[in-house]
Amino acid sequence: MEGITLLVSIILIVFGVLQIILFFKLWGMTNDVRSLKNHLISQLGAKPHTQASTSPSEPVPGVIKNNGITYTVTGKDVEYSDGTKGSLKTYPGYPECGVITDDGFELLYNDVYYASEALYQYITRKTESPNGLYEKRQAS
């Protein structure tokens, strides 16, 4: 009987040590993920949709590079680097912007920069953005 108790005790001690090792390995992995996130953010640079604006409904004018798309925003008009032009539906006093589709729907985005990217995709491919960051409703 003493042999079984000794064996169980050894197994429990080994199991406890392995649990402690696992805890510190997971803790180290969280630090690795944090440093990886910070590295990626510094590599990609600041996202344009974090730029300040004088009004929540008016985008910052100028040339913007975001997700491989270069475009110029002037009020609600958007001109892309390949010459494509489009307009966003803006709401005075609100940050939301809409993309009006050919079938009479509005794709409402909460950020003018997401809306600009979605507008480019809709103009060039006639497809809605796959990210799902919009509300689809009947255009008014």
Same-domain pairing of 29 and 94: no
* Higher-scoring residue by pLDDT: 24, 59: 24
Same-domain pairing of 21 and 62: no
Same-domain pairing of 53 and 41: no
The structure tokens 């600041």 sit at 46
21 three-state secondary structure: helix
Same-domain pairing of 23 and 60: no
Q: How many domains does the chain have?
A: 2
Distance CA 35, CA 14 (A): 32
Same-domain pairing of 20 and 72: no
Cα 124 to the center of its chain, rounded Å: 21
* Per-residue pLDDT tens over the stretch 78-127: 878 788 888 888 777 777 788 888 777 888 888 777 788 888 888 888 88
Same-domain pairing of 105 and 134: yes
Kindly compute the dihedral angle of the four CA atoms of residues 37, 129, 123, 116, in this order, to the nearest 10 degrees: -50
State residue 127 phi and psi, 5-degree precision: -125, 155
Same-domain pairing of 123 and 88: yes
Same-domain pairing of 66 and 6: no
Same-domain pairing of 20 and 75: no
pLDDT at residue 48 in the model: 44
Same-domain pairing of 58 and 29: no
pLDDT at residue 12 in the model: 96
Percent of the chain clearing pLDDT 70 (strictly above):
74
Sign, CA torsion 22/25/31/34: negative
pLDDT at residue 37 in the model: 80
9: CB partners within 8 A, 6+ apart: none
Taking 80 as the threshold, does the pLDDT of residue 73 lie above it? no
Range of the domain at 78: 49-138
Same-domain pairing of 89 and 132: yes
Distance CA 63, CA 29 (A): 39
pLDDT at residue 10 in the model: 96
* Higher-scoring residue by pLDDT: 104, 28: 28
Same-domain pairing of 90 and 125: yes
